Structure 1
């Protein structure tokens, strides 16, 4: 939703950012409205020049927050931090002034995750589709999408924009240019390569992308990949089909599930950081809080004192 009060540039970019949040993270309606309100207000304070704000300009905003509670400041700063990160990642500006924003001490929310039974239900629905006498090409596309989301932890942005030739049968990894233009190596499971290989037969040979938009091609809009919004819709439809509350599932939630389940299975935190493309290990460490029972088990089994009896 574009605010009619804002000048065109800020309004359009804020709208694109909000669209990304909905598509990639599945944010709730109230969260969406809060982000919209905070960004609109910040843009108005800077006379419609929020998208081009410098660190010095942001000081004007920060000064206006002095009377607010820490929770409100944290929310506004998070909205702006996300917005500027989006602008840099999408190439709308070459830098990110977010370092000037305050970071009030706040407890960090744990990520939404799916348990193994729910993940099994998603794959059971896909298996049922592929077991039909004549599966639809879209069933093979769905299989490839979910295998890559849950099997490799790709971001929605990275997944939809994969080149058609990015995944090959004899190479168990891909090299991605991810968030912030940083390169990383992402392992691809045998299952995912098999699913992609099957779907590959249905991808037009002249397509640049592994997941092209059929609607865009039919409308003569050229070679375009499916949108993050469409990916979000596809995953929510699969959740409903699998008997899971669609509000619980999004591409971002499947990425979280990948990380949580891999860590619970014994993955090294540094290796997980590299696979997820996190610049800061602190971002990855949030997954260590999700499965506390696994941590207790680890201490009881692996600590040097675990096998020694306590003397009275």
Structure 2
């Protein structure tokens, strides 16, 4: 087992140095490999026959969990093979669950409008939390930020003369995200309530607003707008941002960049959500659409 730990450490060092994996990714890989090692009694010298036992021991796990653990082991064994630390790769015996990517839950444009109207009515009072909540909503729906990206914004992230945000997303990768003039205005009003010494745009205690608290705030805003709270979350608003942009004619590659997706296959799920609009677009814009029979 000691040798296993050394091999895992070398593998994770490679992921960090060469692949730029984040701390969260490293921790997830370490956990998945440790669990597999417990089941198999080690990893460094296991055979394909040993690895095949994982299928039965993972039978009660969700397909997504099995897929993630299999991917971690597959990459680990590939590393050992590349480094000459193994002569074979037993990963062919790993279970390969069939995953069906679920369609994202979304809100229609009318429901989003109602959320904004309710949030704006509350913010009109000038009460600090109501002003903050409107700024949060503007950034979630107006820029498609992930919850972690939003709560982690530094105090000076939004500037009147700068129509973009520099956001640090998954894998500690930076990207530029446009910010609307109304979002800038909403954040500007909120800044009047943020202490000048604060490090974060949305401070809370000694740190920043937590993702859990953001989740609660968004659900409360949904309830204010007469929308079932369980239908709404920060991620649902991010999905609404993407789907409504696509409906408005946004290019899929542009959407990929705005959302910070490493793989366009992740972005393509929105084409399923808005399939009716895409059929209409092909019928109206394709060169053959206007060609007579």
One fold, TM greater than 0.5? yes
2:267 is the counterpart of 1:306: no
State the TM-score, normalized to the length of structure 2: 0.74
Partner of 1:201: 192
2:159 is the counterpart of 1:168: yes
What is the number of residues matched between the two proteins? 245
2:243 to 260, 264, 287: 260
Q: Which has the higher contact order (CA 8 A, sep 6+)?
A: 1
Task: Give 1:127 deviation, angstroms.
Answer: 1.8
In the alignment, the residues of structure 2 paired with residue 237 and residue 81 of structure 1 have an alpha-carbon distance, to the nearest angstrom, of: 39
In the alignment, the residues of structure 2 paired with residue 254 and residue 305 of structure 1 have an alpha-carbon distance, to the nearest angstrom, of: 36
Partner of 2:274: 291
Q: C-alpha deviations, 1:98-144, integer Å up to 9, x for none?
A: 9977653332111111111110110010121133xx33111110111
Q: C-alpha deviations, 1:141-179, integer Å up to 9, x for none?
A: 011100000000000001001000011000000112210
In the alignment, the residues of structure 1 paired with residue 116 and residue 213 of structure 2 have an alpha-carbon distance, to the nearest angstrom, of: 19
In the alignment, the residues of structure 1 paired with residue 140 and residue 223 of structure 2 have an alpha-carbon distance, to the nearest angstrom, of: 18
In the alignment, the residues of structure 1 paired with residue 165 and residue 62 of structure 2 have an alpha-carbon distance, to the nearest angstrom, of: 39
In the alignment, the residues of structure 2 paired with residue 120 and residue 309 of structure 1 have an alpha-carbon distance, to the nearest angstrom, of: 41
Judged with a 3 Å threshold, the aligned counterparts in structure 2 of structure 1 residues 44 and 178 are, in CA distance, closer, same or farther, namely: closer
In the alignment, the residues of structure 2 paired with residue 308 and residue 226 of structure 1 have an alpha-carbon distance, to the nearest angstrom, of: 56
Q: Describe how 1:114-193 pairs up with structure 2 within 5 A.
A: 114-131=107-124, 134-193=125-184
Partner of 1:23: none
Task: Give 1:293 deviation, angstroms.
Answer: 1.2
In the alignment, the residues of structure 1 paired with residue 278 and residue 45 of structure 2 have an alpha-carbon distance, to the nearest angstrom, of: 44
Unaligned runs of 5+ residues in structure 2 are: 1-30, 79-90
Judged with a 3 Å threshold, the aligned counterparts in structure 2 of structure 1 residues 287 and 60 are, in CA distance, closer, same or farther, namely: farther
The answer to whether the 8 Å contact 1:80/1:98 transfers is no
CA RMSD of aligned residues (A): 3.3
Task: Give 1:270 deviation, angstroms.
Answer: 0.8
Task: Give 1:230 deviation, angstroms.
Answer: 0.2
2:67 is the counterpart of 1:74: no
Partner of 1:105: 98
In the alignment, the residues of structure 2 paired with residue 68 and residue 208 of structure 1 have an alpha-carbon distance, to the nearest angstrom, of: 47
Q: SS at the partner of 1:258?
A: helix
Partner of 2:4: none
Q: SS at the partner of 2:55?
A: coil
The answer to whether the 8 Å contact 1:65/1:73 transfers is no
Q: SS at the partner of 1:278?
A: coil
The answer to whether the 8 Å contact 1:71/1:106 transfers is no
Task: Give 1:63 deviation, angstroms.
Answer: 3.1
